[in-house]
Chains A and B, each alone.
Chain A
Amino acid sequence: MPDDLDQLEQDLRVAAALADPVPVRLVEGAITAYAWRTVDADLAELVFDSLSESAVAAVRGGDQPRVLTFRTADLTVELELSGSSRLVGRVEPPVHQVDIQQGARTVPVPVDGLGRFATSDLTRGALRLHIRTGQRTVVTDWI
């Protein structure tokens, strides 16, 4: 039955396209982002995020830092993000340095003997870590 609800849905489609189109510069940014693809690195996937659905139920809420865990077969990275610019983390097994990438900007951060690192030099937007272990490079998922 071709009802007027179908027509309403179509009208809504047109209204949405006019009222709220995807900003062109975002589309261009997503196309450019392909250049940051790392072909020869291992991906440390996000295996825990305190903001994910399953984790939130167990957390009390409030102003706690966001806690994340990334993992490959032989490397674990834990991150704690508080406020908008503060990050502390630990990588196991320890390495000398991690590189924090935000867009085209990459900041090296030293790691101590226990694998700990910290920075207050973050900007708004997605970030990920590059970690060199021996001959290989590991990148974390973007968060």
Chain B
Amino acid sequence: MQGEDAGTLVRLAADGDESAWAALVRRFSGLVWSVARSHNLGGADAEEVFQTTWLRLTEHVGRLKEPDRVGAWLATTARHESLKIIRAGKRSAPTDDLDALDLGDDDSPEMRFLDAEQAAADDVTKQQLWAAFQRLPDRCRELLRVLIADPPLSYTEISAMFGIAIGSIGPTRGRCLRQLRELFTLEEQLGRRRA
């Protein structure tokens, strides 16, 4: 199932193949979660978006006009559900992502001291990068989350999902990443000051 393309998985799942459905969920869970979290939704709200999106697909899996673009369908559905929660104005508190980022050291005895030190330094760097990412404007977070999802959406799909021109995606990505780099540099400086 792992190697099947998305369109085949959709057709198999529509015909009642449970393992094809499970493969779809595993393949696109990251994308759906990314979209929900890109809207700064707290844990409970993001979970609700995730669940509603997959439940919606259970009934639509045999009705998709373009089965190979199920990723875009899922991302768009998750986006709409996220925006509904925001509009309803009853979101739960956003989780503090820094608290969630508890990248403990690997305690395995075979890990050599230098490796451990390097890994710890890497973890700090990733924490700082993640902290910087949280400070980006909503639009940037939303776009980058979709671009870094695995599998990522194509520019055509992103264009349809956000209602923006394909030609503007590349430049926006560049602008958002440069802004991220600036924020990241600030985080690093703050980190050094704290150390």
Binding site for B on A (CB under 8 A): 5, 8-9, 11-20, 22-23, 26-27, 29-31, 33-34, 36-39, 43, 49, 51-53, 56, 66, 84, 124-126, 128, 139, 141-143
Residues from chain B with a CB closer than 8 A to the CB of A139 are: 59
> Which stretch, B3-11, B24-32, B64-72, touches the partner chain A?
B24-32
Judge whether B129 and A56 touch: CB under 8 Å: no
Question: Which residues from 85 to 99 on chain B have a C-beta closer than 8 Å to any C-beta of chain A?
Answer: 87-88, 90, 97
Q: Which residues of B contact A13 (CB under 8 A)?
A: 148, 150
Q: How far is the CB of B142 from chain A (nearest CB, A)?
A: 13
Residues from chain A with a CB closer than 8 A to the CB of B178 are 5
Contacts of A29 in B (CB 8 A): 51, 54
**DSSP class of B's interface residues: helix, strand, loop or mixed?**
helix
5 contacts between A and B (CB under 8 A): A5-B173, A20-B97, A33-B58, A52-B80, A142-B58
A125–B81 Cα distance when bound, in Å, is 12
A20-B56 in contact (CB<8A) = no
B153 near A: Cβ within 8 Å? no
Among A12, A18, A22, A31, contact of B148 (Cβ-Cβ < 8 Å): A12
Inter-chain CA distance A68–B5, complex, in Å, is: 35
> What distance in Å separates the Cβ of A12 from its nearest Cβ neighbour in chain B?
6
